[in-house]
Amino acid sequence: MVWSPSPEQVERANVTRFMRAHGIATYEELVARSVADIEWFWDAVVVDLGIEFMEPYERVLDRSRGIEWATWFVGGKTNVAHQCVDVWAQRTPGAIAAVWESETGDVRTVTYGELRELTDRFARGLASLGVGARDTVGIFMPMAIETVAAVMACSKIGAIWVPIFSGFGPEAVAARLADAGASVVITADVAARRGRLVPMKQTADRAADLAGGVRHVVVWTTRDVSIPWDPRRDVRLDDLLAAHPDRFETEALDSEHPLFIGYTSGTTGRPKGVLHVHGGFLVKIAEEVAYQVDVRPGDRLHWVTDLGWIMGPWEIVGALSLGATVVLTEGTPDYPGPDRLWATVERHGVTILGVSPTLIRALIPSGTGPVRAHDLSSLRILASTGETWNPEPYRWLLEEVGEGRCPIINLSGGTEIGACLVSPLPITSLKPCTVRGPALGMDVDVWGPQGTPVPRGQIGELVCRQPWPAMTRGIWGDPERYLETYWRRFPGVWVHGDQASVDEDGFWFLHGRSDDTLNIAGKRLGPAEVESALASLPWVAESAAVGVPHEVKGEVIWCFVVATPDVEPTTELAEEARSVVAAHLGKAFAPARVVFVGGLPKTRSAKIVRRAIRAVAIGEDPGDLSSLEDPGTLDAIGRALAGAG
């Protein structure tokens, strides 16, 4: 064990309150009861967290159309904006709802009372543009207070918001707008990123032209810069807000009313638009943020994310549904200096910090100086998702950032999950890199190819056997693709596409995506095991391991390695890399090739896209690359392969 909760941490945890209210004595009993009767559990969550339904629901769950199309909180009426804005504007109007910091250090805050006024004006403005219930609205914005207001304004009306990564190019934005049928796009004039201004309005204009069907582009003005303007289509947000009063009656919507369409990239073809609804998403996210990362009123939650990644909606809805504060930042967490993230924690008193393993690996080469230059005593929970951990970066976050005081709540799910499948709780002891066990209310298991549980210690598919409130209500416009992607392999069982295992002590671990799994002479392992071995070398900044076809072994391992800036790649270092993998995993798993590259292809949510690396390595089509932050990394990998011979 690398961390165990103190009696004080257990005593003050939200989940402890829930357990005592229901006579539950242990973590194991809590998990078991939460999946033995999921209707009891989710109803108890609503009561414990004080989630307000504008009209009470008659039934918790309806499976009459099959598990694939289960519906929740049947007959009830609610609205995400009611719980996240109206409730707290009434209870604690002066409490801080959101804090925003620009790349240059300017800070703005908004109280719950002010957020309600801003959101109501925004909602009236959108309605004046013809936006109504079930209309789709693209939100192509950096993380900001106005972004929160846009999300909540759409929700108030009953419009379906479409969060889009702020770093996308026009073609990627257009593909999502067209698929969703968006009639309005909300964007910013520009956004700051690493000291330069990104022309978001120009990108939005081109995307709107390509998509067709966009009637209005609403523009948040952030700076005094010249931008293209079409008076027939463009509307300044400031003008829209000023033209409308500060009260809007939030729509009481059916629990199953569509909330947003989140896009997740497929291996090939167009991105998948997964649909979420008001009741299920609200309850599941509030539950996770309350019980897993232990947020309560007065807390400040900051997740390094973008609205276009599921953690953007997760942190906004999660923090605000519980009356806490969401902390948002412009730009990147390592600019203008490697201490930007730690300075943010100190300046704003962040209590819950969410990161990706990839981000921590990127910050480690700067050393502990930037961390120790700042007072991080406000932190009490560290959280992570996005990629599998390697032990060394995990321990660095635990010990150097959290000083051993804070647990790492390593949660994992996906855009289509709406939340997570597996996660620790702040009352559970931790082993390095563990996700500990099933998230509450999630009936998950690890299955082999025949659809039966694998023995302890073996790797298998992560599956879920019962529905959950935030489960996507299908892929937008393509129900058959939804069924084929998640439900057809084992009928009636959700197959998520992640590899997992459970050790002899009952601790769960993830091993990467199923399509990333390596199969070497009939032996399967996750790329994280190879990459963790490489991470033990001080000169390896990060790496990606992929399987490449081999006529004898079936597959062999190729490793793509990014060296630290002070190291010149050599054949000797490549041999050292091969040796360390062999020493950790056995000679059979020694990489057939070690290729040095300047960077790895990643999504804006910091996930390494290994299937694209593999495609370049074997000369295949890499498929949909619209989510890549820098597609040029793939071109560079191709050149590196050619140069390596």
Every domain of the chain and the residues it spans: 7-53+277-486+493-511, 517-644
Work out the average pLDDT over 18-27. 98
Give Cα separations from 596 to 36, 337, 366, 514, 611 (angstroms). 50, 26, 21, 25, 18
Burial of residue 404 (CB within 10 Å: 0-12, 13-18, 19+) is exposed
The predicted pLDDT at position 249 comes to: 96
Instruction: Kindly state the tokens that stand for 392.
Output: 């060394």
Q: What sections of 50-199 are H helices per DSSP?
A: 80-81, 87-91, 112-128, 145-157, 170-180
242: left (phi over 0), alpha (psi -120 to 50) or beta: alpha
Does residue 512 surpass a pLDDT of 90? Answer: no
The predicted pLDDT at position 521 comes to: 66
Work out the average pLDDT over 78-101. 98
Work out the average pLDDT over 181-200. 96
Average pLDDT along the chain = 94
Work out the average pLDDT over 560-585. 94
The predicted pLDDT at position 265 comes to: 62
User: Mean pLDDT: which of 262-271, 410-419, 517-526 is highest?
Assistant: 410-419
Q: List, for residues 108-141, the tens digit of each pLDDT value.
A: 999 999 999 999 999 999 999 999 999 999 999 9
* Closest among 289, 134, 125, 328 to 218, alpha carbons compared: 125
Poorest-confidence range of 15-24, 403-412, 584-593?
A: 584-593
Instruction: Kindly state the tokens that stand for 14.
Output: 């939200």
In DSSP notation, 437-470 reads SBPTT--EEEE-TTSSBPPTT--EEEEE-S--TT
The domain 517-644 having CATH identifier 3.30.300.30: the answer here is: yes
Q: What is the CATH number of domain 7-53+277-486+493-511?
A: 3.40.50.12780
Does residue 49 surpass a pLDDT of 50? Answer: yes
Does residue 605 surpass a pLDDT of 70? Answer: no
Work out the average pLDDT over 284-293. 98
Does residue 268 surpass a pLDDT of 50? Answer: no
Does residue 645 surpass a pLDDT of 60? Answer: no
The predicted pLDDT at position 644 comes to: 60
Does residue 627 surpass a pLDDT of 80? Answer: no
Confidence band (pLDDT; 50, 70, 90) for 516? confident
Distance CA 408, CA 4 (A): 11
The predicted pLDDT at position 266 comes to: 47
Does residue 373 surpass a pLDDT of 80? Answer: yes
Confidence band (pLDDT; 50, 70, 90) for 349? very high
Work out the average pLDDT over 502-520. 87
Q: For residues 125 and 110, is the Cβ–Cβ distance under 8 A?
A: no
Burial of residue 566 (CB within 10 Å: 0-12, 13-18, 19+) is exposed
Q: Give the number of other Cβ atoms within 10 Å of residue 382's Cβ.
A: 22
Instruction: Kindly state the tokens that stand for 120.
Output: 């109501």
Poorest-confidence range of 25-39, 177-191, 215-229, 543-557?
A: 543-557
The predicted pLDDT at position 624 comes to: 74
* Full-model pTM: 0.88
The predicted pLDDT at position 554 comes to: 76
Work out the average pLDDT over 496-510. 95
Q: List, for residues 221-267, the tens digit of each pLDDT value.
A: 999 999 999 999 999 999 999 998 889 999 999 999 999 999 986 44
Poorest-confidence range of 185-194, 238-247, 616-625?
A: 616-625
The predicted pLDDT at position 262 comes to: 96
Distance CA 558, CA 574 (A): 11
Confidence band (pLDDT; 50, 70, 90) for 270? low
Work out the average pLDDT over 95-113. 97
Share of the chain above pLDDT 90, in %: 84
* Closest among 348, 402, 355 to 379, alpha carbons compared: 402
> Cα dihedral sign for 450, 452, 456, 462?
positive
Work out the average pLDDT over 50-78. 98
Work out the average pLDDT over 297-313. 96
Distance CA 300, CA 354 (A): 11
Q: For residues 512 and 498, is the Cβ–Cβ distance under 8 A?
A: yes
Q: For residues 557 and 592, is the Cβ–Cβ distance under 8 A?
A: yes
Confidence band (pLDDT; 50, 70, 90) for 526? confident
Work out the average pLDDT over 64-80. 98
Task: Please report, in angstroms and rounded to a whole number, the separation of the first and last CA atoms in the chain.
Answer: 45
The predicted pLDDT at position 222 comes to: 96
Q: What is the dihedral of CA 301, 305, 309, 310, to 10 degrees?
A: -10
Does residue 439 surpass a pLDDT of 70? Answer: yes
